[in-house]
Amino acid sequence: MTVKSLAAFGPALAFATSLAWGAASAPDGAAIERIVAARAAYELRDWKAAIPPLVALTEEVPTNGRYRLMLARSRLETGDYATAAADYARALELDAGDPAVLAYMIAKCNALLGNSGEALRWLRASLEKGYRYLEEARRDTAFQALHGDREFDRLLGLTSRAQLSRSSGWRDDIAFLTEWVEKKSYHPFRTDTADRYVSGARYTREEFRAAARKLAADVPRLSDRAIELRLMELVASLGDGHTAVWGADRPEFAMTLPLSLYEFDEGLYVVAAAPKYRDLVGAQVLALDATPASAALARLDPLIGRDNAMWLRAMRPQQLRHLPFLKELGIARSANSVDLAIEDRAGTRRVVRVEADASEPDIWNALPKPKDWAWVADGSTADFQQRNAEAYWWAWRADVETLYVQYNKVLDAGNETLAQFAVRLRRAIDELPVRKLVIDMRNNNGGDTHLNEPMLKAIAGSKVDVLGRFYVIIGRRTFSAAMNAVSYFDRYTNAIFVGEPTGGKPNAPGDETAFKLPYSGIEVNLSDRYWQGSWPDDFSRWRAPDIAAPVSFRDFAEGRDAAMEAILLQPLP
């Protein structure tokens, strides 16, 4: 069966044009039995067993797109590709899921049937609708027979680098990126209409296109690094913290300073270092070669997409490690080493040469430090500096009758799911004489928002869900799925927020489905979902704390937690 169009199903899709959506079967007393059977078989991935009850359910309630999607998946998994395609098409008519994904599934069914023409047509429709999983599509074996087809390769950006000149390759990348920005990004352009607050987009559509054309024209006279920096700036102009150039399998992205830097209120400090440079831990960085640290940080601003200025403060020290780009920006004199002017913890000023290497190109999620590195808080016993690499944990502090929870990732840990942890946390809340509950989210930069619900349910309505008894510590790393968790706590509990403003916005574009540009291999993420964790009329750029607890280097180095101290000082209601 070839899926040529929705109309091609004829009578089978006649219901799609009717407001009644067809006649449902008369209700009987076995509906719950069919629902339970369908859901149980589907969850167990017993696809064959799931089909009969799902067929019955879709006949009884033809408007239920959820069951139609479950039926399509079950038929696909059992190899009934033609009927699965019909079910996906009906689901598309019902708006039962992401239209791009549903069109992709129809393309996949046609490809598995050997209907290459229809597979390409539906694939084109999927990509035009902004299909989000480009890398998965490139690897999907269902389309194996289409690899090498000119149209297929063009759609997915499967460029042979050997067939392109340098200028042609970079221009293809710029064109591919521009096309995907317009197809996939949620809100990439500045507007003057009612949606103007959705993102911080810098350019209008025409201004963005003009900037891309200018970059393409400049390619022959620019170095690769200069082109990469211009691409970073172009992507950052789209205006949200998830939209960014993440990296590439290219040496200039890997060559980094073996230091971890942090922007405290007092200035830029080395908080961790590879063994070779352990004596720099705790030093303030005053300048990089001849460039003052403050000026170097400011020069990175146009390259970093963000929801707000706190995210900028979180990301600038990460970008400052990439020495080849500092060289291109005129911050450093060499792409291989830099002379740091520092003031160590003893107050002595000196200049130290630090060499870049490719040992740790990305330390963003290596908390509190990469393995074997020295850290400014090594030996600390403070709660907030313990077990930062674990997704979540809690400890009972009987002396202050406080339950302290570190919530560092919105992900399932290997030995315990987040839902299981939430159940255990609720049990602790109920059984222990808890007077204050503290959820520490200052290191949490996200994960999967869908996993947040059990944590909310564990706390909302509990004995500690009282103003003055439940506290959430937030900071510049609090972002993405963690930002959504903060918004849910804000909406549905009596939480008091302590710390510094979050790096994410309560309502903002987000999600991460990165893809690589065909020629350069540069990895780009374009936000394609709008997360409204807060109320629709919340236009704030961050969740500000109710009680401010600024982060100072001295406190951090000495293991003093100003946020926790502020919480313990508050009287009980």
Give yes or no for residue 2 having a pLDDT over 70.
no
Whole-number pLDDT of residue 247:
86
CB 423 within 8 A of CB 454: yes
Each residue's pLDDT tens digit, 103-161: 999 999 999 999 999 999 999 999 999 999 999 999 999 999 999 999 999 999 997 77
Q: Which CATH superfamily is domain 383-504+542-569 in?
A: 2-enoyl-CoA Hydratase; Chain A, domain 1 (3.90.226.10)
Give yes or no for residue 3 having a pLDDT over 60.
no
Element (H, E) at 152: helix 150-156
How confident is residue 18, by pLDDT bands cut at 50, 70 and 90? very low
Each residue's pLDDT tens digit, 444-468: 999 999 999 999 999 999 999 999 9
Whole-number pLDDT of residue 11:
34
> What whole-number distance in Å separates Cα of residue 379 and Cα of residue 356?
27
Whole-number pLDDT of residue 17:
35
Each residue's pLDDT tens digit, 159-181: 777 778 999 999 999 999 999 99
Q: Residue 463: what are its φ and ψ, rounded to 5°?
A: -65, -20
CB 191 within 8 A of CB 204: yes
Question: H helices then E strands: how many in the chain?
Answer: 20, 18
CB 211 within 8 A of CB 234: yes
Q: Which of 512, 500, 504, 459 is nearest to 484 (CA)?
A: 504
Structure tokens at 148: 């090498």
- CATH code given to domain 256-360: 2.30.42.10
Provide the mean pLDDT of the chain: 93
Task: Read off the pLDDT of each residue in 208-224 and give the average, rounded to a whole number.
Answer: 98
Whole-number pLDDT of residue 252:
94
Whole-number pLDDT of residue 352:
98
Whole-number pLDDT of residue 163:
77
6-156, CATH topology level = 1.25.40
Domain edges within the chain: 6-156, 161-245, 256-360, 383-504+542-569
Give yes or no for residue 15 having a pLDDT over 60.
no
Q: Residue 64: what are its φ and ψ, rounded to 5°?
A: -85, 100
Each residue's pLDDT tens digit, 459-500: 999 999 999 999 999 999 999 999 999 999 999 999 999 999
Each residue's pLDDT tens digit, 534-544: 999 999 999 99
Handedness of CA 286, 288, 290, 295 (dihedral sign): negative
Q: Which of 480, 427, 426 is nearest to 454 (CA)?
A: 426
Each residue's pLDDT tens digit, 311-343: 999 999 999 999 999 999 999 999 999 999 999
> What whole-number distance in Å separates Cα of residue 177 and Cα of residue 526?
10
> How many degrees, rounded to 5, is the angle at CA 181 between CA 175 and CA 187?
155
Each residue's pLDDT tens digit, 69-116: 999 999 999 999 999 999 999 999 999 999 999 999 999 999 999 999
Whole-number pLDDT of residue 161:
74
Structure tokens at 104: 């992709």
User: pTM for the whole thing?
Assistant: 0.91
- DSSP three-state, residue 373: coil
CB 507 within 8 A of CB 556: no
Structure tokens at 516: 């690589």
Contacts of 419 by beta carbon, 8 Å cutoff, 6+ apart: 451, 454
